[in-house]
Amino acid sequence: MSTIKVNAIQHSGGNNASITLSSNGAVAFSNTIIFSDGSTQTGSANSFLNPTVTTSTYIGNANMSGGAHYFTYSDDYFGAEISSDYRLTNDVTYARVQGRLPHATSSGSSNPTFWALIVSHATGVAANNNPLTIVSGWKFRLPNGNDGDVFNFDFDEALESFGSAKIPSTGYYYIGWAHTYITGRVGATSGSWFADSTGDTFPQGSGTMFYKYRPGPITPTTFNSFDGNRVAKGIHFRLYPKNNVFAANGFYTIRTDKILSNHSIRVDNKLAGVYELVNHTGWTSNTSAVYTTFQPGLYSHYKLIWDISHAPLWERTYLRFFDYGATNITSGYYNSGFWLGSTGTSFAINSTYFGNNQGFVWLAGNGVDFKSQGYAIITCGDDYIYGLGVNRAVGSSNGNRAPTIRGSSTLYGYGTGDSYMEEFAGSYAGSTAVAGFCIFGSGGASRLGNVWVYGARYE
């Protein structure tokens, strides 16, 4: 029986552990296992066969008990609390929100929705009208329950999402929330969120709770002014990090769910027979972009489908990847493609929208008098099987981990009878780690559309 021994598994530059893999699938750990939050567990070679997986401390409200009502759910609000209790930990990835129901709900799929948000603040010192930027968010539908009941939602179950759940290594980031007409609020429309405070009124003051009344669509947005900041002692929300995983080196991880009860590491990943819906966004009023976050270690690749009216300003359909700070990556794309008109006899190849080091991947053209429908396969690379980072040293001997895209679209002209078949392919070859992608219009908003994203799960 042959064995493979991997020595000096590194974490933050330290040589801390070794793992022995046998040909029969058995695994033995020696010395120390390093968890993703930097904590360690040390023992004999077999003491890790049934490892204890811990969860880091939540950020947010300290007790989730009692309290008076605060924001009413019958209006649109964006809120964030700039305080140490609500500051998220740098370099930690969050995965779950916990809150209290603002209203008794019993309508299931007709219950109201809300957004759990991560917001950034320039200084971490609360002051009226300091800019607040929404960098990521997850939209949920409230469960059935009574007024004040505690609810939990995993980010993986979000109806819509954008941005990354990983907090950057520097900066000030806090828990935010929103409930707006844009999120499809239906059913029960009264009730209020809970906050720890005395009294029924919340006067203007120097508190840390900022809010904006009727903020509009929830997207990566910066609010430079607010309707006010309130004296309050903790809105009832918490965020919890992901469960720890065995960390080899930074993004390179062996997930705990790969350690099976028979002490083997699961390496025979098989692609599921069907795609499952990751995100669907539909709109009937002006929308300029749709964001989808990758889910490392869960899906091997993604299938994007869209049906979008280009009126009034969408013009052309583009795609960009974004980084872990939810910032769009605007260079480093390498594209090729062609199209064929319905009455044409030859293809048009490599127009100005294609070529090397572009600012986007071109999906469809061209003009606000058209609508485009299409699909694309987005491949992140095999590293995502184990939750590894994307686009790490793509030009090195470590392998090509650049995300790539290949697809086809059809363009229809309103009232003109014109239509085109369009084909495209592209990749991103820059050095920035990719957290997800954004589909958007080159000139601005679309008045009507749908975007679906499906993931092919590893089982």
Question: What does the pLDDT look like over 353-382, one tens digit per residue?
Answer: 788 889 999 999 889 999 999 999 998 754
If asked whether residues 408 and 435 sit together in one domain, one would say yes
**Token code pair at residue 57:** 């401390």
Q: Does the structure show a pLDDT above 80 at 425? A: yes
C-alpha radius of gyration, the chain, whole number:
24
pLDDT at 381: 58
If asked whether residues 304 and 157 sit together in one domain, one would say no
Residue 262 lies in a domain: no
Range of weakest confidence among 322-331, 389-398, 416-425: 389-398
If asked whether residues 138 and 81 sit together in one domain, one would say yes
If asked whether residues 396 and 280 sit together in one domain, one would say yes
Residue 259 lies in a domain: no
Residue 266 lies in a domain: no
pLDDT at 377: 93
If asked whether residues 130 and 43 sit together in one domain, one would say no
Domain range spanning residue 19? Answer: 3-50
Across the beta sheet with 27-34, the strand order is 3-11, 14-22, 27-34, 40-42
If phi > 0 it is left, if psi is from -120 to 50 it is alpha, else beta; for residue 263 that is: left
Cα dihedral angle (66, 72, 77, 80), rounded to 10 degrees? Answer: -20
Assign residue 413 the CATH number of its domain. 2.60.120
pLDDT at 141: 87
Phi/psi at 192 (5° precision): -140, 150
Residue with the bigger pLDDT between 402 and 445: it is: 445
Could you give the CA distance from residue 374 to residue 449 in angstroms, rounded to a whole number? 12
Residue with the bigger pLDDT between 29 and 228: it is: 228
Range of weakest confidence among 194-198, 245-249, 355-359, 361-365: 245-249
Residue 328 lies in a domain: yes
pTM tops 0.85: no
If asked whether residues 127 and 46 sit together in one domain, one would say no
If asked whether residues 422 and 445 sit together in one domain, one would say yes
**Token code pair at residue 175:** 């828990």
Q: Does the structure show a pLDDT above 50 at 409? A: yes
Phi/psi at 246 (5° precision): -70, 125
Burial (CB count within 10 angstroms: exposed 0-12, middle 13-18, buried 19+), residue 446: buried
Whether the bond into 403 is cis, omega within 30 of 0? no
If asked whether residues 328 and 308 sit together in one domain, one would say yes
If asked whether residues 200 and 340 sit together in one domain, one would say no
Could you give the CA distance from residue 109 to residue 188 in angstroms, rounded to a whole number? 12
Residue 161 lies in a domain: yes
pLDDT at 182: 54
Could you give the CA distance from residue 93 to residue 371 in angstroms, rounded to a whole number? 38
Residues 6+ apart with CB under 8 A from 71: 77, 79, 102, 179, 192, 193, 211
Q: Average pLDDT in the 147-161 region?
A: 85
Contact 148, 89 (CB under 8 A): no
Phi/psi at 310 (5° precision): -85, -10
**pLDDT confidence band for 439 (50 / 70 / 90):** very high
**pLDDT confidence band for 388 (50 / 70 / 90):** very low
Q: Does the structure show a pLDDT above 80 at 3? A: no
Residue with the bigger pLDDT between 170 and 43: it is: 170
Q: Average pLDDT in the 88-99 region?
A: 88
Residue 68 lies in a domain: yes
Contact 168, 92 (CB under 8 A): no
If asked whether residues 227 and 276 sit together in one domain, one would say no
If asked whether residues 98 and 145 sit together in one domain, one would say yes
Could you give the CA distance from residue 13 to residue 247 in angstroms, rounded to a whole number? 12
311-339, pLDDT tens digit by residue?
A: 999 999 999 988 777 789 999 899 999 88
| Count of domains observed in the chain | 3
**pLDDT confidence band for 49 (50 / 70 / 90):** very low
If asked whether residues 411 and 314 sit together in one domain, one would say yes
Residue 265 lies in a domain: no
Residue 29 lies in a domain: yes
